[in-house]
Structures are given as structure tokens and as C-alpha cells.
Amino acid sequence: MAVPQQAFGRTGHNSSRTIFGAAALSKVTQAAADRTLEVLLRHGVNHIDVAASYGDAELRIAPWLKLEPQRFFLATKTGERTAKRAREELHRSLDRLGVDHVDLWQLHNLADPIEWDTALSPGGVIEAAVEARDQGLIKWIGVTGHGAQIAANHRRSLDRFDFDSVLLPYNFVTMQLPYYAENFETLSRTCAERNVAVQTIKSIAAKPWLGRERTHTTWYEPLEDQADIDLAVWWVLGRPGVFLNTAGDIDLLPRVLDAAECFEKRPTDAQMTTLLERTRTEPLFV
């Protein structure tokens, strides 16, 4: 078995519906990273999402790309907001990854209003992105973000520039927030009309740590039991067209991929409500 694939927006690439969230590699050894590659290959994952800010993750992926050339759709991100600094960060990412181009370069966590205007104005990172695309250093341009405002913010971003992909939180508890749900649905319709890929994060998020002992490398407390992860993953994959970016913890990765391989149908709202009550799940963003 393998995780099913679908078209990644307008790119022409069929990506596994679960995309490897390489934040999981930020602080691991190369040996641990290489064991993670074996997990990805076993489950048929063919799309990696990394970022310049993810610690050593770009360095950890570089040997994979030499070992398995052409296997992965490769995406990275920049947190810079000006063209000059973004160009420098892109070249650093290419050097660290050991490649001459990436498939997708994303504007990372573009949420703050002032940073948003800087990034998408002349002299901003978007200028560097278009230039890099023209030079063949990148193929596609995306935008990512976190927080309760990000669905609305991505709508504004798509009005300003024709991005090829978006990435944002999507899980049952977050979609119970009326403002977020309304903007997510509107954004989703726009993306469908324009053939923009929709990547989702936080599928198995349970609650903020809030002083509790951190047992995983995710910045939120995740669901841990396989049955709970199954429901959360199936709920996301039950929405046609979206991709699920895996959680930032290599120990949770096999459980998420097992759930994705076993997906048959979306759980009911009643099942999900019971899950929230039993696990005391809370929204990460309000």
C-alpha cells in the first residue's frame, strides 16, 4: 500500500496527499533522518516541505536528494520580507540542499500586516521570487501562515499575487471557529477556481503545551494514540483536494502515514466531537 496521490494544483505534479513536514528534521542526527527517509519511501511519500528556518532540516534532506534523484517534489520557504535578503536566503537554501533549483518556494508565515505589505510590494520578497522563477531557480511560488487570521490573510494575498499554493491550519476544532471557517471555505473556493494547491497543517494538534512536559518536538501537544490520529487524519483527508502536511516529529510520522494509507471515509461530526471531548482538544488559535 501507499498513500494516494493527487494533482498538486497547477504544477503538473501528482503529490502524495500526505506531504512530509520536514520541520521534524530540525534537530535530529543524519542517521535518524535517513531512517525517516525509509519511512517515506515505504509509504510512497513523494513531496517534501522544508524551510530555511527549520534548523538543520535542509542539510538532513540533501543526502536524500542525491540518493533518490527526481523522486521528490521539493519545497522550501523563506522568512525574509525584502528582495535582497530573500535572494540571499534562497541561495543559502539551494547550497544547503545541494540542488540547483527547488520546485516550490514559499513566503513563510506571511501574517503580520506590515510584513505582508513589505513582502508583496516593489522591493519585497515577491520581487525576488518572480526573478528566481524567471532564472529557473524555482518553478512555483507559494504562501504559508498560521493563526486565526491566516485564511482571511491568504485571500488578500491571492488578490495581490497569483500564488501557486497556500498552506494553513485545518482540523476539526479550528473549523468550529465561525470566522476562520467562513474564510477557509471562501479561500478554498478561490483556490479551486484558480487551481491553487491547498496544503493543511495541524491535523493532529490537540492543545497548547501550557507548561506541561513536552513529550514531542511539535510546538503543540499532539494526539498520540493511533485510533485518535486515524480520526483526525481521516477528517482532513475526507475533504477532496487538500493535502495534509505531516507533524513536526519523526516519531509521530509513521502513525500519521499509517492513518493516511488506511483512509476510507470521513468521520462524522459526532465522532469528532467525541474525540475532542475525550482528548480535551482545544483550538491553538483564537
CATH number at residue 117: 3.20.20.100
268, part of any domain = no
Geometric angle at alpha carbon 190, from 268 and 203, rounded to 5°: 40
14, part of any domain = yes
> What's the pLDDT band for 218 if we cut at 50, 70, 90?
confident
Per-residue model confidence as pLDDT tens digits over 85-97: 999 999 999 999 9
Number of domains in the chain: 1
Candidates 179, 206, 182, 185; CA nearest to 277 is: 206
Per-residue model confidence as pLDDT tens digits over 136-177: 999 999 999 999 999 999 999 999 999 999 999 999 999 999
20, part of any domain = yes
Phi, psi of 281 (to 5 degrees): -70, 140
- Say what the pTM is: 0.96
275, part of any domain = no
User: What gap in Å lies between CA 35 and CA 12, rounded to an integer?
Assistant: 29
pLDDT of residue 160: 97
220, part of any domain = no
189, part of any domain = yes
Q: Is pLDDT of 214 > 70? A: no
Q: Is pLDDT of 207 > 80? A: no
Candidates 55, 67, 64; CA nearest to 28 is: 55
Q: Is pLDDT of 211 > 80? A: no
23, part of any domain = yes
Q: Is pLDDT of 216 > 70? A: no
224, part of any domain = no
Say if residues 163 and 197 touch (Cβ distance below 8 Å). no
Count the residues in the chain.
Answer: 286
> What's the pLDDT band for 39 if we cut at 50, 70, 90?
very high
Q: What is the H or E stretch that residue 160 is in? A: helix 150-160
Q: Report, as an integer, the average pLDDT of 227-241.
A: 97
Q: What angle separates helix 83-97 from helix 57-67, to the nearest 10 degrees?
A: 50
Beta carbons within 8 Å of 235's beta carbon, 6+ residues apart = 171, 172, 203, 266, 267, 272
User: What gap in Å lies between CA 107 and CA 81, rounded to an integer?
Assistant: 8
Domain containing 178: what range?
5-203+236-247
